[in-house]
Amino acid sequence: MTNEKPLLYESYPGSIVDVSQLKYMLEKIRGYGYEKIGFILDRGYFSKANIQFMDSCDYDFVMMVKGRASFVHSLIMEHIGEFESKRACSIKAYRTYGMTVKAKLYADDETDRYFHIYYKAKKQASERARLEADLDRMEAEMDKIKGREYKLPKRYEHYFKLTYHKGKFYGYEEREDVIERELQLCGYFAIVTSEKMTASEALNLYKSRDISEKLFGSDKT
CATH code for position 69:
3.90.350.10
Confirm whether 9 is domain-assigned: no
Is residue 39 predicted with pLDDT exceeding 90?
A: no
- 86-94 long-range CB contacts below 8 Å, 24 or more apart? 89/199, 91/118, 91/199, 91/200, 91/203, 93/204, 94/120, 94/203, 94/207
> Residues 35-51: what's their mean pLDDT?
82
Say whether both 109 and 139 belong to one domain: no
Say whether both 135 and 91 belong to one domain: no
Say whether both 85 and 25 belong to one domain: yes
Is residue 221 predicted with pLDDT exceeding 50?
A: no
Say whether both 193 and 137 belong to one domain: no
What pLDDT shows up at residue 41?
A: 86
Say whether both 163 and 144 belong to one domain: yes
Tell me which range, 34-38, 148-152, 160-164, is most confidently predicted by mean pLDDT.
160-164
Confirm whether 86 is domain-assigned: yes
Q: How far apart are CA 185 and CA 8, in angstroms?
A: 37
Q: Are 203 and 94 in contact (CB under 8 A)?
A: yes
Using alpha carbons, select from 200, 208, 204, 207 the residue that is nearest to residue 99: 200
**Domain containing 26: what range?**
18-119+189-220
Model pTM?
0.84
Of 73 and 67, the structure prediction assigns the larger pLDDT to 73
DSSP single-letter state for residue 33: T
Is residue 213 predicted with pLDDT exceeding 80?
A: no
Say whether both 26 and 113 belong to one domain: yes
Q: Are 119 and 79 in contact (CB under 8 A)?
A: no
